[in-house]
Chain A
Amino acid sequence: METVLPEVTAVGVIIKAVIILAVISAIAGFGTYIERKVLAFMQRRLGPMHVGPYGLLQLIADGIKLFTKEDIIPAHANKFIFAIAPAITAATAFIALSAVPVFPDFTIPEFIPLLGGTFVPSIASDVNIGILFVLGMMAAGLYGPLLAGMAQANKWGLLGSARTAVQFLSYEVVTGLSILAPIMIVGSLSFVDFNDYQNEHIWLVVYQPVAFVLFLIAGFAETNRTPFDILEHEAEIVSGYATEYSGMRWGMFFIGEYANMITIGVIASVVFLGGYSDFFFIPAWIMIILKVAFFFFFMLWVRAAWPHIRPDQLMWLCWKVLMPLAVVNIIITAVVMMAMA
């Protein structure tokens, strides 16, 4: 990029952090409404209809209910770990978002007092190992379910955390290996470089369709979405790791889950689908919102359409099918790159 970007100031980063926290937690809450509505329409129902027009204010009703519900800690639970486990999930989800380009960068107009002229970067902290940091943080987020399940002195919770470990061991390899091939092509771990590369060339999904599909599959496992929602599958293990949780602690798990869905959507759009760059006449910020919204919708769509799989099938799928595919994909990419060079 030839254009010199304005200097990133501390004020800009703080504004960006506040935007991320406010917007993403609002979207994460609103996501529950969207999810209930989309699933309802796919099942020929209406979904929430009574609170506000078309049930739009359902989120407020749910929030009041969650906040005012009694916070129960079981007698034999490890109280400290039980109390901080939801915070781990929610916090890591937002920490992961700090290194993800959520919107394109912009400058606050001059006429706004106090903050006018401040440059707000696209990423709160543009660390040069962005992808590693985000994936690591999202992986650390699984400590939430793991510790919650083991701390609550409940057999369903224990089963849930055992399944968390199974899921964690299965998908994490696929995530890393599938995203390695695009990293080799771009030659950088920074999301900004990915975006710029696709700005100059073509969307990476054209070069790396297999890696894209593998990353999406692993992303579903990373966010505990339906084909892989084995750690809290209510038809089998009551509520899994969340069995003993109530009120806002329970809510924090789900804010974290929805924030992770958005993160996976952003990573998939930035790494594979061109990110926040202009697309013909559509401006960049609309493009990134459209792409993330598509991935969010896709996760709900899949939840309505597909059954979930057993833990042993998940391990079989990840270790025996997806991992070899990812390795073959990397090798082919490497050979082609050497031949082209």
Chain B
Amino acid sequence: MSLEQFKDRNVGVQNYRQLDLPQSPTTAMCKVKQVAKRSLKGELFVGLGVTVREMVSTLFGKGLHTTQYPFEKLPISPRYRAIHEMLRLLESGNYRCIGCGLCEKICISNCISMETRYDENQRKEVSAYTINFGRCIFCGYCAEVCPELAIVHGGRYETASEQRASFSLFEDMLTPIDQLSLQQEYQGFGAVSPNADDNIKKTPLAY
């Protein structure tokens, strides 16, 4: 479908259709008839029927829209960009970060700072790594640029805290070693939500 149809502002020559509205009453008798017709038509009871139907279906647990948030949470999309997570290698349990410094370089709000050094085996080691969450805009460039999938965005969106520092240290973001088996791999940019199937609906045009 081209946009030509929508750019044409000449009302009247387009494909518009007048609704079949009844004539508005002119004489007093017509007005009385209209009032009587509308009063006796029972349309008000249709409204009552709709609400009571909703109430019954809600009482039996169908069609309830409430999620009791702090107790129940809806699954969020894997593409969601919340507080960062530092992942570990599944085999050795060592952290994946190789200290390349790309995330620090690409960070457009300059909130990542890291210090690295060579350890005794001449391997790069991260000695300090912080993200200033007062500055972070959660753009996701750091996760995108990371060659080792070491820094990813997690699903931890409840970020109210007494101190900004609560999230910002490397150890806070690092997967705890005893929960290594629970570590979620980043599913990629095209991943869909776990409940994506439930969210499929007819488009409004189908109604």
Contact = CB atoms under 8 A, between A and B. Distances in A.
Interface of A: 38, 41-46, 49, 301-302, 304-306, 321
Contacts of B58: 41-42, 44-45
Given A306-B44, A321-B35, A45 B65 contact: yes
Contacts of A43: 54
A305 B35 contact: no
6 contacts: A41-B55, A45-B58, A46-B66, A301-B51, A302-B48, A305-B44
Nearest to A303: B51
Interface in B40-83: 44, 47-48, 50-52, 54-55, 57-59, 63-66, 68
Contacts of A45: 58, 64-66
A304 B53 CA distance: 12
Interface of B: 35, 39, 44, 47-48, 50-52, 54-55, 57-59, 63-66, 68
Contact of A38 (B50, B55, B64): B55
B59 A305 contact: no
A163 B68 CA distance: 39
A42 B51 contact: yes
Given A44-B65, A305-B48, 14 more contacts: A41-B59, A42-B51, A42-B55, A44-B64, A45-B65, A45-B66, A46-B66, A46-B68, A49-B68, A301-B48, A301-B52, A304-B51, A305-B50, A321-B35
B54 A41 contact: yes
Contact of B64 (A46, A301, A302, A305): A46
Nearest to B36: A321
**What DSSP secondary structure best describes chain A's contact surface?**
helix
A306 B64 contact: no
A132 to B, nearest CB: 30
Contacts of A46: 64, 66, 68
Contacts of B54: 41-44
B65 to A, nearest CB: 5
A232 to B, nearest CB: 22
A168 B50 CA distance: 31
B63 A44 contact: yes
A43 B51 CA distance: 8
A46 B66 CA distance: 6
Nearest to B53: A42
A304 B56 CA distance: 14
Nearest to A306: B47
A55 to B, nearest CB: 11
A313 to B, nearest CB: 12
B52 A42 contact: yes
**Nearest 4 pairs of A and B residues by beta carbon:** A305-B47, A305-B51, A42-B51, A46-B66
Nearest to B65: A44
A340 B64 CA distance: 56
Contacts of B64: 44-46
B193 to A, nearest CB: 22
Nearest to B63: A44
Contacts of A302: 48
Contacts of B52: 42, 301
Contacts of B44: 305-306
A43 B52 CA distance: 10
A43 B55 CA distance: 7
A305 B47 CA distance: 5
Contacts of B35: 321
Contacts of B50: 305
A305 B63 CA distance: 18
Which of A49, A301, A305, A306 has most B Cβ within 10 Å? A305
